[in-house]
Structure 1
């Protein structure tokens, strides 16, 4: 993956300038590109507009680099919180007026305080963290081999992928790919990720399909949302199983089963 992806989930209270309002939106930044966020104004242009009176007109700026991203906090009053949703509470606080703070997380949530009961947040998917091939041996400089699909097996997105693949690993002819609610229910007993919501699971599936496993072109415009979602789930399962990314031993990452799951749906 080159550059970063900034994602505003549906209902986040913000939108990307130039894109339609209403649903989830995504902004892609290549290395060296930047996106400003805040309430904006005619004389304060921003790429990501966040409609809350407690957020500065220019609250901050995200800059993509070759292998990570940086966050500048232009607020003079409030810190920006950068959470690692996969780090069991790990977070960074970027203080007011801090410029170019490097963010090390592969998946982050930028959280801004508001005067409402909820905060406003952006999701940022960073460049892949590359891992050497496990069978790698030292060779001439510049000749090291890295894995074609760079996945962190301790991350929440990998756990979601295992849950999607589980029926195929336990039964060679399953009825259907698990739905998002079924994945949420399957992970409910996990000690770290048992609280994943349907929205979070959907975001991880988007990340797997579009960035990690690069499953191909998006569905044609006008395709029903449910059909698109099902297509993404099926695509990531196909790639993960075809290339041995998820194997039977990975089932041990899932919480134990206390009862048979509900019937699979589409």
Structure 2
């Protein structure tokens, strides 16, 4: 195993990536975290060629490729001699990269990527990679030397799906209501269903976006209460994300315009 934990964050910059596969050896999802300089080997695997991320498809090479994290991006090596891999940007309008066979260390610029491998099955073999935080300057800081400029504490892409998930979670408070609970994952899926970028959004994908917000973007440490089950831990993470986003003005009333129009009774309750 090539993992040694999540990378450190120095000077406000976020290091490390998250690799997520919806289907692991036991049929459940697999999430791996890499710090700068760490790597993950992926493929079908064998006793002679062990891998960190196993993709159980006969069209996938035993040792198909490698993901390596750096300080500010990640690299993909295609170890196959015959198959090219696609790296899609789910947040873009059909934007993708093709990594040809035997290509080593291809830099991937997307903040959120879907790596697709050729398969003999009807559904493709894929996994997702959440990249190191893209760092932005404070929009009000102009001029001066690079060293004197101020970086934003929380670098979020307001065009990304994870930001839509954040606004959907915060919507009740942004509309000046007094909810008794943070919206559930199924409620977020339903709320975003009318958005053109979210027509295929699933509960599992929403959970991954919430994990990404909490662990990588907002850097929240949410300790699990003793004896808490999975649902309770998930509720605690959603509540912590909403509390921080509202406290620091990351989610604001103006962001409600990003959400699709509400329909039904809720549309008359001060909605748009």
TM over 0.5: yes
Q: Are 1:89 and 2:89 matched, yes or no? A: no
Q: Deviations over 1:112-133 (max 9, x none)?
A: 1222222221111111111110
Task: Select 2:214's aligned residue among 191, 209, 219.
Answer: 209
Q: Give the superposition deviation at 1:146.
A: 0.5
Q: CA separation in 2, counterparts of 1:164 and 1:22?
A: 29
Q: Is the 8 A contact 2:222 2:236 kept in 1?
A: no
Among 126, 132, 156, the alignment partner of 2:131 is 126
Q: Of 69, 78, 81, which residue of structure 2 is paired with 1:73?
A: 78
| Pairing partner for 2:260 from 239, 252, 255 | 255
Answer whether contact 2:222 2:240 (CA < 8 A) is retained: no
| Secondary structure at 2:170 match in 1 | helix
Q: 1:221 to 1:124 in 2, by over 3 A?
A: farther
Which deviations, in whole Å up to 9, do the C-alpha atoms of 1:69-125 show, x marking residues without a partner?
110111112111111111132211111111111100001111112222222211111
* Aligned-residue offset at 1:220: 5.0
Query: Residue 179 of structure 2 corresponds to which residue in structure 1?
Result: 174
Q: Which of the pair has the greater relative contact order for Cα pairs under 8 Å at 6+ separation?
A: 1
SS at match of 2:262: coil
Which of 247, 250, 253 is the matching residue for 1:245? 250
Partner of 1:88, secondary structure, is coil
Task: Give CA deviations for 1:25-83 in whole Å, capped at 9, x if unaligned.
Answer: 22111111111111122222322122221110110111111111110111112111111
For 1:175 and 1:222, the matched residues in 2 are separated by: 23
Cα distance between partner residues in 2 of 1:200 and 1:261 = 25
User: CA, structure 1 residues 175+221, in 2 after alignment: closer, same or farther (shift >3 Å)?
Assistant: closer
Q: What runs of 5+ residues in structure 1 fail to find an aligned partner?
A: 16-20
Q: CA deviation at 1:137?
A: 2.2
> 2:112·2:131 contact (CA, 8 Å) conserved in 1?
yes
Q: Which residue pairs with 1:6 in the alignment?
A: 19
Measured after TM superposition, the shift of residue 221 of structure 1 is 7.2
Give the 5 Å matches for 1:1-266.
1-9=14-22, 12=23, 14-15=24-25, 21-220=26-225, 223-261=228-266
Name the TM-score, length of structure 2 as normaliser.
0.88
Shift of 1:192: 2.5
Contact 1:55/1:112 (<8 A) preserved: yes
Tell me, what secondary structure is at the counterpart of 1:239? helix
Q: Distance in 2 between matches of 1:88 and 1:218?
A: 37
2:6 is aligned to: none
Task: Tell me, in whole angstroms, the C-alpha distance in 1 between the residues paired with 2:104 and 2:224.
Answer: 39
CA distance in 2, matches of 1:225, 1:67: 32
Aligned residues: 254
Tell me the CA shift for residue 166 of structure 1: 0.3
Separation in 1, partners of 2:157, 2:120? 36
Supply the distance in 2 between the matched residues of 1:113 and 1:231 (Cα, whole angstroms). Answer: 38
Query: In the superposition, relative to structure 1, how do residues 43 and 234 fare at CA in structure 2: closer, same or farther (>3 Å)?
Result: same
